[in-house]
Chain A
């Protein structure tokens, strides 16, 4: 028997590799025993007691790898060493496990699907325009999820798009549904004959989900990005998309969703509506609807109503019957609010939103009930929160705004900030209502109930008289499943309303009626 060893300095292998080597080594012919350890004092001593300590190990240090071999004879030792070398070589290269070729660019990808027709881009803003330009040059429609794209670039891209008759959705377009396929942050909505053009991401999600809840479906849902309807861009894509839906045989009803467009853009939109053959439902969040109504569109008061009216048109039910039903429902909600107010302590409302448009809508619904609310995105500037992390009186905040998302995932994905804030609000005895939105669909957190239910329970433990009111933007076919999420939330003690509009109405009624 001979005992010999190798010291490897400056070469490092992970523990799995070391174990593999030790195992293989013992299986070689003529090897009686072996040890593979780092050369620490303690390990040297176990090599000594294991009878595996060649002299040359004396000076080895903590960071050296020791391989001790007890072999029948020198020949067996040499053979083992040779095999060992191969083994190390293999391990060194194991990391570059071969996998299928992944293209490195749009061009490369086109090599794999030459007939691709849409490029979905979500790289950092400063590179996004250039990627979009390449896609347009290759004749692909573009969905630009990235934000921080300059207004000049946006204008140029949309001009190219218009000229080439290609869609340019975005920048900052979070959601779209094309040919029934949900893109980026979108819900799994049934296919149908209602087409949507939206300059608001969560607005599009809420309307499409309400349509789905009413057993109707969406033909196309085209996002344009919020800036499209501003003066600089002049509504280029909003108008292109409207025309496309008017010409689409699969679309019977058109829904328009936007914050108030620039007057010049609004003029262009209304002049299109005038000539359209298909019914148009419009929701201009916070805007005046007179002009579009005059030109033949049906104006909805909120996102939910827009969805319900569109569904009615699709099902060929009279619009009046729907607005009547909504009116009756609102009376019921007000009754419930008055009842809940009786059992409530505190006096203020705190809304913690992840969807920007939903946050705006809620403030608009609350204003006639309880007046202006404080916010990081208030309806009027004097209600700007001084400290974003401290609520004042009635406060509705958008946690998805840049104020909160720099260096952190979006609150639809990461609930931690919202959970922390819920606990803080609950500890304030003046708070009577916490209002929440939960957005489901692709891209959002896959287990929202698991995230928020423990917090709801904790909040109710801190203050059992609190009203936690929420709405869920989602469908039964979303990966999270609307029904399952709704059940978990209800079971935990939250009041789950059918829409953000309903939830806001209930919240406002409670605050209004607390004595």
Chain B
């Protein structure tokens, strides 16, 4: 059985379970970040360990060694490290990516995600007072995307529903988009912008922090990596897009909203 170990995971023993779900179990590294043991549905990532058909409920601890991991001090697997670095997209690739993503937002009816920022027709699904309040906050934050992206991200921090609030996923999307554009034009201001957004959007929710941290480091999850490469190579795009959308509930869409919005602005200018 092949076990894939993300490039950012340090060797050591992890015993503090942060949270456990059917497809993934998270261990705290420190107060800020997690490592995750996930199945193939979730896939790899810089802080992920992928074990095929893993039963998350049975896992109590994990020890990471150079080419081996040991679960519950008893079951050992050979593993190998994998890096997921954002692939370099050309301007043409970016336009293809934007085209690919557009229908995602249109088909998103009935999920309380940030997709309405791209497709206004979805606004009416926000009904309760709380949902309306969320809608307005998000719209307000979104208006700063052009003139003050730092402020935009600050306002999105921790905003919205879900274990990782939609705004955090949005911010990770923006940071990823910034990562893609800095690969095209190496401007110092881009680096400082990334840094500023990173510092102001890290919070006390380690699950959110993980996505933001990975995006800031110019890395990404396996599923996103595959999606971006599919767009580059014009092959299997739909399959990879679906796989990416399946890793979470609203998180993938919120993430793509941030990614799309920033890239669109970049591309149009």
| Contact between A and B in the complex (any CB pair below 8 Å) | yes
A residues at B contact (CB < 8 Å): 12-16, 18-19, 22, 26, 33-38, 40-43, 45-47, 49-52, 61-63, 94-96, 124, 406-407, 409, 450-451, 454
User: Which residues from A are CB-within-8-Å of B156?
Assistant: 42
Q: How far is the CB of A93 from chain B (nearest CB, A)?
A: 10
**Do the beta carbons of B18 and A12 come within 8 Å of each other?**
yes
B251–A15 contact, CB under 8 A?
Answer: yes
Query: Using Cβ atoms and an 8 Å threshold, which residues of chain B touch A15?
Result: 161-164, 248-251
B-side contacts of A22, CB under 8 Å: 161
Query: Are B21 and A50 within 8 A (Cβ)?
Result: no
Which of the four size classes fits the interface of chain B? Answer: 35 or more
A96 to chain B: closest residue by CB: B57
On chain A, the residues within 8 Å of B136 by CB distance are 49
Q: List 24 A-B contacts (CB under 8 A).
A: A12-B21, A15-B161, A15-B162, A15-B164, A18-B163, A35-B128, A35-B130, A38-B205, A42-B155, A43-B159, A46-B133, A47-B130, A47-B133, A50-B130, A50-B132, A62-B203, A62-B205, A63-B204, A63-B205, A94-B22, A95-B20, A95-B21, A124-B78, A409-B2
B19 touches A37 (CB 8 A): no
A332 vs chain B, min Cβ distance (A) = 35
> Which of B97-105, B215-223, B229-237, B256-264 is the contact stretch?
B229-237
With contacts A50-B129, A95-B56 taken as known, whether A454 is within 8 angstroms of B235 at the C-beta atoms is yes
Expressed in whole angstroms, the Cα–Cα distance for A12 and B206 within the complex equals 11
Query: Shortest Cβ distance from B259 into chain A, in angstroms?
Result: 19
Evaluate contact between B133 and A40: CB separation under 8 angstroms. Answer: no
Beta-carbon contact of A42 and B249 below 8 Å:
no
Beyond A15-B249, A37-B165, A42-B155: 16 further Cβ-contacts under 8 Å?
Answer: A12-B19, A19-B162, A33-B130, A38-B205, A42-B156, A42-B159, A42-B165, A46-B130, A49-B136, A51-B129, A52-B130, A62-B158, A62-B203, A95-B56, A96-B57, A454-B235
Q: How far apart sit A46 and B117, CA to CA, in the bound complex (Å)?
A: 18
Give CA–CA (A15, B251) in the complex, Å.
8
Contacts of B159 in A (CB 8 A): 40, 42-43, 46
Shortest B239–chain A CB gap in Å is 9
* A326 CB to nearest chain B CB (Å): 38
How long is the Cα–Cα vector from A12 to B36 in the complex, in angstroms? 14
CB of A38 to closest CB in B, whole Å: 5
B14 contacts the other chain (Cβ, under 8 Å)?
Answer: no
Q: Give the nearest-CB partner of A37 in chain B.
A: B161
Complex contacts, A40 vs chain B, CB 8 Å: 157-159, 165, 167, 203, 205
**Roughly how many angstroms separate A35 CA and B130 CA in the complex, as a whole number?**
7
Interface 0/1 of B143-158, CB less than 8 Å to A: 0000000000001111
With a cutoff of 8 Å between Cβ atoms, the chain B residues found around residue A16 in the complex are 249
Give the residues in chain A near B1, CB-CB below 8 Å.
124
Q: Would A18 and B162 count as touching, CB distance under 8 A?
A: yes
Contact A46 B134 (CB under 8 A): yes
Q: Which residues of B contact A (CB under 8 A)?
A: 1-2, 18-22, 26, 56-57, 78, 80, 112, 128-130, 132-134, 136-137, 155-165, 167, 203-208, 233-236, 248-251
Residues of A within 8 A of B206 (CB): 63
Which residues of the partner chain B approach A43 to less than 8 Å between Cβ atoms?
A: 158-160, 165
Shortest distance from the beta carbon of A67 to any chain B beta carbon, whole Å: 12
In Å, the complex CA distance between A43 and B157 comes to 9
By the criterion CB–CB under 8 Å, are A62 and B161 in contact?
A: no
Contacting pair B160 A14 (CB below 8 A): no
* Given A38-B163, A40-B159, A33 contacting B129 (CB threshold 8 A): yes
Query: For the complex, what is the distance from the CA of A33 to the CA of B20, rounded to whole Å?
Result: 29
Given contacts A40-B165, A51-B129, contact A14 B158 (CB under 8 A): no
How far does the alpha carbon of A45 sit from the alpha carbon of B134 in the complex, in Å? 9
Is the beta-carbon distance between A49 and B133 smaller than 8 angstroms?
yes
| Best-surrounded residue of B161, B203, B207 (most CB of chain A within 10 A) | B161
Chain B: CB-nearest residue to A40 = B158
B203 and chain A: residue at smallest CB distance? A62
Let me know if A50 and B133 touch, CB within 8 A. Answer: yes
The smallest beta-carbon distance between A130 and chain B, in angstroms, is 16
What is the distance, in angstroms, from B89's C-beta to the closest C-beta of chain A? Answer: 17
Q: 4 shortest A-B CB distances, which residue pairs? A: A40-B158, A12-B19, A62-B204, A407-B80
Q: How far is the CB of B163 from chain A (nearest CB, A)?
A: 5
Q: How far is the CA of A124 from the CA of B208 in the complex (A)?
A: 37
Beta-carbon nearest neighbor of A457 in chain B: B234
Nearest chain-A residue to B154 (Cβ)? A42
Assembly CA distance A51 to B131 (angstroms): 12
CB-CB under 8 A for A19 and B161, given A40-B203, A42-B137, A450-B236: yes
Residues of A near B130 (CB, < 8 A) are 33-35, 46-47, 50, 52
